[in-house]
Amino acid sequence: MITSNMIRTITVEIPSKPGSLGKVTAAIGKAGGDIGEIKIMNIGPLSTVRNITIHCVDAGQLSHAIQAIKEIGNGFCIHSVSDDILHAHAGGKIHMASRANINSLDDLRRIYTPGVANVCQVIKDDPKQAKYFTSISNTVAIITDGTAILGLGNIGPVAGMPVMEGKAALFDRLAGISGIPILLDTSDPDEVVQTVKHISKGFGGILLEDIGSPHCFEIEERLKQELPIPVMHDDQHGTAVVSLAAVISACREAGVSLKNSTVGQIGLGAAGLAICRMLMAYGVKEMYGLDLQPSALDRLEGYGGTPLHSLEDLMDKSDIVIATTGVPGLIKPEMIHSGQIILSLSNPSPEIEPENALKAGAIFAADGRSVNNVLGFPGIFRGALNAGAKEITYSMLVAAATAIASCTKSGELVPHPLDPKVHSEVASAVERCTLHAKDLIKVM
């Protein structure tokens, strides 16, 4: 998904008169800025100082917003424009912390030498004991080669480290998992696979992140086949899980049966193909796909979907349309048929604005502002680790999506990404699915 590129905090002083704040917010909105948090910093007898967070697509839009505020009139003064994002990342967002107190020589002897030798011997005699006496079973490697960082593209693994740290912080806060960023200076599938295999003994799971297409497909498939621990590429399956949850919620709001519907996916990159596979695993009636790359269409066909070669054809044949192309305005109002569900998920500029889709006859329409991978990956790995899963299956991912949808309130596409109940429900659903599969294997 494409996201806003700039977030800035404007410290602005405005007259303490009714309507003054409204003039500022209206000026920002007219310039195309999206307002986030507003905080009162100081209240004086004649004026009030506020910090207003603005989300902008680029520096030009930010400049327009600032100029619009300046032109309101006397009494409106911008004191500063600051980049709180850089401040928040100063020094990094994660660090390794000890769970053990080390306050005496006895503590040292217990957790290190000579006492630790006893634990090493226990694990040597029975390697399964590492699950109980080390952190391995609660640690996930977050691996990137830096070739597909957010919407920035191939900017290298070091430049992608802030994203990896963010994933690690979310793992910790939302699921109690230790996430360890691993930066690779190679994109060669053979080298990536071998490197991950060589370090895998220290981890309970592998999360592949921001690895570009098409080599991401080969890397994930090979690691899933060759490692006895859960492996997931978040840009594919994390996005697909949350997208499926959004589609389930949209169908519920519109009174439409998803399993009896034909679905069209516009854009078959890593996320688009994964969404197709997820919807097919869920059991939709027919899955269509469209992309400019013949290789992407071949992949879809190999997975069991139906490739199409024109946007008009896809729009004609699909009850539900999902778009992840990053091309604003790609879907024209005249292409929409009465009763369709339209999810144009590119953000901040969707393939068609939801209000325009509704005017054109769509029964339900939404953009991708609320579709966030963080709703999926922490709970998915928490459930997989709890159940001792050796892989992450489509059944587990569908269970996760269904859990997210069940937590979604009426009128919303997906729940709030920081709602702890959501992550708990996802973890429980994945764990139950895994244990149920193990029970079936035992019976068979």
How far, CA to CA in Å, does 145 sit from each of 155, 185, 189, 213, 303? Answer: 9, 6, 10, 12, 26
Instruction: Note whether 301 and 288 are within 8 A (CB).
Output: no
Task: Identify the active-site residue in 17, 30, 70, 112.
Answer: 112
**SS3 state at 242:** helix
* Catalytic annotation present for 442: no
* Catalytic annotation present for 359: no
**Of the candidates 350, 320, 348, 347, the residue with the CA atom closest to the CA atom of residue 336:** 320
How far, CA to CA in Å, does 72 sit from each of 66, 134, 414, 431? Answer: 10, 61, 37, 56
Query: Which ranges of 91-160 does DSSP label H, i.e. alpha helix?
Result: 105-111, 116-125, 130-133
Beta bridge partners, 369, equal none
**Of the candidates 322, 313, 320, 308, the residue with the CA atom closest to the CA atom of residue 350:** 322
Secondary element (H or E) of residue 298: helix 294-303
How far, CA to CA in Å, does 407 sit from each of 30, 375, 393? Answer: 34, 11, 22
Query: Which ranges of 71-148 does DSSP label H, i.e. alpha helix?
Result: 84-89, 105-111, 116-125, 130-133
Instruction: Note whether 269 and 243 are within 8 A (CB).
Output: no
- Distance between CA atoms of residues 21 and 13, nearest Å: 10
Instruction: Note whether 372 and 417 are within 8 A (CB).
Output: yes
How far, CA to CA in Å, does 249 sit from each of 212, 294, 379, 401? Answer: 29, 32, 19, 10
Output phi, psi for 56, to 5 deg. -130, 155
- Distance between CA atoms of residues 324 and 336, nearest Å: 17
Where are any strands of DSSP class E within 247-293? Answer: 262-266, 286-290
Beta bridge partners, 55, equal 7, 34
Other CB atoms within a 10 A radius of the CB of residue 159 amount to 13
Phi and psi based region of residue 140 (left: phi greater than 0; alpha: psi -120 to 50; beta: remaining): beta
Known catalytic residues are 112, 167
